[in-house]
Amino acid sequence: MRTIHAGTLLRTTPDAEPRPGQGVLVSGDRVEAVGPLDELTGAYPQVRVRHWAGTLGPALVHDGPLPAAPTPRERVHALFRLGVAAVPAARLTDPDLRAAALRSHVAVPATPAPRVLTVGVRADLAVFAPDGTCLATVVAGRLLHRTT
């Protein structure tokens, strides 16, 4: 199922200047298009559009100890509340924690490289409020966290 995600602003990389009026078309677990929201909605008029009141960009890579929680599943879901969709393999040495991460489709790269929003990449997105609070996290095209 296709979805267009549009934030108040959009960053295509963690350091890119945020731009207004942009959106990301997600199809399955991939980014299908990135561009002006009016062009995306014009080209795909039947697609659901999710408007987010924050800055949309690539989800984060968490290169530190995972948050403490009673179960591996809860530790992984604590990452989604932070806007994280990837954890380097070196941080997932516990078999139960790694299994929970993989079940939730967390990306497990060999190195902690930052993510980029471009056509063809895995659809890992996060939306942040001006104060840095994560409002929503999309992991492999699936909305796994939202505050409202």
CATH number assigned to the domain comprising residue 17: 2.30.40.10
pLDDT digits (tens, 9 = 90+) for 60-112: 999 999 999 999 999 999 999 999 999 999 999 999 999 999 999 999 999 88
- Look at residue 66 and tell me if it is in a domain: yes
- Look at residue 108 and tell me if it is in a domain: no
pLDDT (mean) for 23-34: 97
Is there a single domain that holds both residue 76 and residue 8? Answer: no
- Look at residue 109 and tell me if it is in a domain: no
Which residues make beta-bridge pairs with 34?
24
The pTM score is 0.94
For β-strands 22-27 and 125-128, DSSP reports them as unpaired
Which residue range forms the structural domain that includes residue 69?
A: 61-103
